[in-house]
Amino acid sequence: MKRLFAIALLAFTTLSTFNALAQQADLRRKITVTGTAETEVTPDIIYINISLKEYLKDGNSKKKVDITTLETQLFNAVQKAGIAKENLTINNLSSWNYQTEKRKNPDFLASKQYRLKVGDLNKFNLILEGVDAKGITNTYVESYDYSKIESLKKELKVKALLAAKEKAAYMVEALGDKLGNVLDIQDVGDNGGMMVPQYRNYAMKAEMAMDAGAAPEIDFKKIKLSFTVNTVFEIK
């Protein structure tokens, strides 16, 4: 009797396991496709480092263009270009102990570094035109961004998803079937990333400062974004 009960229990357990596996098995026909969307935009937030330094007039150590004069020129040029004054900040300075250094070394030349936020590089060129070129030691692009980058990412992901659906639809319909509901979506992420801008460093020595149109040559590449999604659709 116990043996018959054990056999019956084993059979019941086997049958239950089989039914559970059958229910878990997904017998639906499916198609897996990938969708991609990409675009390029011009950065509209650019941070530029500007370095100013005092210099001697005509090599005469008694006549010097001081850092205050250069700084005033820079502030005035920024305002003339229509850029808010809070967009210009001091990054670094070597003139905090100016009086002490001056007493030790009469030929001491103070310098300051500024961080300027612009949305248009043409304005940056206009600003440099308003500053004594001999007092500019160098400029370079510190960083850059796009103000609507997050909304752009969302838009591209939606386009990538719709592209995947369109691809799946014409492939399925070519075989006489119909596309069903989406079963799975995997966000692969950003494939392209933000491209690093190319620019030429701007360094002017006193003897080069008389050149006409002395402004930094900055060749900016656009930001390229590319997003991919993997999808699985049911085939009806």
- pLDDT tens for the chain, residues 1 to 236: 555 545 555 555 555 554 555 457 778 899 999 999 999 988 889 999 999 998 888 766 678 888 889 999 999 999 999 999 899 998 876 655 655 666 566 677 888 999 999 988 888 888 988 999 999 998 888 888 899 999 999 999 999 999 999 999 999 999 999 999 999 999 987 765 454 444 444 443 333 444 444 444 455 678 888 999 999 999 99
CA angle (218, 224, 225) in 5-degree steps: 150
| This prediction's pTM | 0.66
Task: Please report the pLDDT score of residue 178 as a whole number.
Answer: 95
CA distances (Å), 111 to each of 37, 58, 70, 125, in order? 47, 19, 10, 21
Q: What is the pLDDT of residue 159?
A: 97
Per the listing, tokens 């080069």 go with: 208
Q: How far apart are CA 223 and CA 53, in angstroms?
A: 33
Written as six digits, the tokens of 18 are: 């089989």
Q: How many CB atoms neighbour CB 160 within 10 A?
A: 24
DSSP state, residue 220: P
Residue 221 in 3-state DSSP? coil
Q: Cα-Cα-Cα-Cα dihedral of 59, 65, 67, 73, to 10°? A: -130
Question: Can you give the pLDDT at residue 19?
Answer: 55
User: What values do phi and psi take at 107, rounded to 5?
Assistant: -90, 10
Give the pair of three-digit tokens for residue 212: 């006409």
Q: Which of 196, 88, 197, 94 is nearest to 137 (CA)?
A: 94
The position carrying tokens 């103070």 is: 110
| Residue-level pLDDT at 13 | 56
If you count them, how many residues does the chain have?
Answer: 236
Catalogue the long-range contacts made by 194-199 (C-beta closer than 8 Å, 24 or more residues apart): 194/223, 194/224, 194/225, 195/221, 195/222, 195/223, 195/224, 196/221, 197/43, 197/141, 197/144, 197/221, 199/140, 199/141
What integer pLDDT is reported at residue 11 of this predicted model? Answer: 52
